[in-house]
Amino acid sequence: MGKPTGFMEYERQTAKAAAPKTRIRDFYEFHTPLSEEEQQAQGARCMACGVPFCQSGMELMGMTSGCPLHNLVPEWNDLIYTGNWEQAYNRLVKTDNFPEFTSRVCPALCETACTCGHYGDAVSVKENEYGIVEHAYANGFAKAKPPKIRTGKKVAVIGSGPAGLAAADQLNKRGHSVTVYERDDRVGGLLMYGIPNMKLEKHIVERKIKVMEEEGVEFITGADVGKEVKAAKLKKEYDRIILACGAKEPRDIKAPGRDAKNIYFAVDFLAATTKSLLDSNLKDNKYISAKGKRVVVIGGGDTGNDCVGTSIRHGAKSVVQLEMMPKAPDQRAEDNPWPQWPKICKTDYGQEEAIAVFGSDPRMYQTTVKEFLKDKNGKLCGLTAIKLECKKEEKTGRIVMEKVPGSEQKIEADLVLIAAGFLGTEKYAADAFGVSLDERANAKTEPGKYETDVKHVFTAGDMHRGQSLVVWAIREGREAARAVDESLMGYTNLGA
């Protein structure tokens, strides 16, 4: 373990965030990392528990507790404490292909399951992960390591998000020749165009892609498989195919006036901003601007928060965020004990910035849209919101949200961003390969399996399990790679 008394001697420390009114001036990451000395003290806080819930990745009451990748957290915390940074990196990448991503965007399921956090402050696991991987890049530990032997087998991966990249990385390490097809102009999928720059700067993605290229993975961009690139051609050229196309079919808001101009899906808003930022530092004006506009974001999750933070950086006049569900408690409820995921109210960076700029939390809980309002030219000018109340269905006992008559209120708006989640994969990619979808519009496989109902065609990530976290996508990619490797070789020695 780290230091036997470390959790009592050292206070939890994390990277300091820049003040909200300072960080909204640009789109850069805004945390100042800890020094190596400070990081080693944080490693010392790990107790090396007899039962390390941090790495369990188990399901408790329908929620994940601990890391789905089963990262060897106590091991590399101890190695940080003792100054064995290279060995810590080697243990970290044994289970996580992309700690440079997860250390930035993962919600740290490991920390919420940390035994230290039961009565005190959890070990800063995510912070330690960041310290390990950035130390590795700075000191040459993360350089390319191409496989010494090639198997002669060829695999095509469709989609370069975290699942596709993880599968490609694993299969390439095994010695198979891997080509990744990406329909966008840059590699990364969700990592590139779904997550804003201030959470994950894109040179971090490009840095890892460069390493993968040096290791032998081929990337083809601007290749929309199922449209410009024919599935039949890929089936002939490759021994196996992995579909990792994501769950990009957005959930719409069906309300009168939906055809008003200036209503957009969040994914389009965020992607356009990132592309313009990378292409021209927003000078080309090829993005959906919130500057000077009264913005309403529909959806209270991470994507909704990203829309709030991005709109503020554009220079929005005001931002309101509608959340259908009730406000979560500020502390764990009695029926939500540790080590379950804590169902508590979280004020994220975008909401913090809205509070600093506009003086109040942008969220309106238990509220949805009854009608979108438009002017005589068909342009959005506002919406009618209506309150919701929780009711339990008599037959099923399920909680449903019902509209409260007479609770309507008008909200002025020039721009509405719909961040209400996703309904499943875009059907055309699955259809191109003849792959069936299940009732949730995910690629159909047998339970716990990754091969689809089309021989030699596999699937992984959000396309397989539905919209989820980056860390789950990486696990899916790793497990799909194992399935493909076993299918090709008759056995597999790839780690799960």
| Whether 433 and 399 share a structural domain | no
For residues 160-166, average pLDDT = 98
Task: Report how far residue 103's alpha carbon sits from residue 477's, in angstroms, rounded to the nearest whole number.
Answer: 18
272-304 residue pLDDT tens: 999 999 999 999 999 999 999 999 999 999 999
Radius of gyration from C-alpha coordinates of the chain: 23
Question: Tokens for 488?
Answer: 């090709």
Assess contact for 187 and 209: CB atoms under 8 A.
yes
- In a domain, residue 147? The reply is no
Q: Are 408 and 317 within one domain?
A: yes
- Give me the mean pLDDT over the 106-127 stretch: 94
Looking at the structure, do residues 103 and 171 belong to the same domain, yes or no? no
**Selected residue with higher pLDDT from 50 and 389:** 389
**Do 201 and 119 share a structural domain?**
no
- pLDDT reported for residue 30: 98
Q: Do 386 and 261 share a structural domain?
A: yes
Which is more confidently placed, 260 or 62? 260
Q: How high is the pLDDT of residue 1?
A: 61
Residues 134 and 64 in one domain: yes
Please enumerate in sequence order all residues whose Cβ is within 8 A of that of 229, keeping only pairs 6 or more positions apart, or say none: 181, 223
Burial pattern 190-203, b for ≥16 Cβ within 10 A else e, equals bbbbbbbbbbbebe
Rounded Cα gap, residues 417 and 304, in angstroms: 8
Domain end position, chosen among 138, 162, 185: 138
CATH of the domain at 160: 3.50.50.60
Final residue before a domain boundary, out of 138, 162, 191: 138
**Residue 278 sits in the same domain as residue 401:** yes
Q: Is the peptide bond before 99 cis (omega within 30 degrees of 0)?
A: no
In terms of Cα–Cα distance, which of 36, 116, 33 is closest to 73? 116
Residues whose CB falls within 8 Å of the CB of residue 99, separated by 6 or more in sequence, listed in order = 92, 93, 129, 130, 132, 133
Percent of the chain with pLDDT over 70: 100
pLDDT in tens, 381-409: 999 999 999 998 888 888 899 999 999 99
Average per-residue pLDDT for the chain: 96
Read off the CATH number of the domain in which 125 is found: 1.10.1060.10
Q: What is the pLDDT of residues 413-441, one digit of tens each?
A: 999 999 999 999 999 999 999 999 999 99
- Between strands 380-392 and 367-374, the pairing is antiparallel
Identify whether the C-beta of residue 20 lies closer than 8 Å to the C-beta of residue 61: no
Locate 4 and state its tokens. Answer: 């036997």
Task: Report DSSP letters for 201-250, one per residue.
Answer: -HHHHHHHHHHHHHTT-EEE-S--BTTTB-HHHHHHH-SEEEE-----EE
> Is 167's pLDDT higher than 70?
yes
Locus of tokens 């021209």: 280
Domains contained in the chain, number: 3
Predicted local confidence at residue 383, as pLDDT: 98
Residues 102 and 238 in one domain: no
With contact defined as beta carbons under 8 Å apart, do 186 and 204 qualify?
A: no
In angstroms, what CA-CA distances link 448 with 83, 464, 480, 483? Answer: 39, 10, 10, 11
- The tokens for 302 are 């991470």
The interaxial angle of helices 85-92 and 73-81, nearest 10 deg, is 170
DSSP 8-state secondary structure symbol assigned to residue 33: P
Domain coverage including residue 374: 252-420
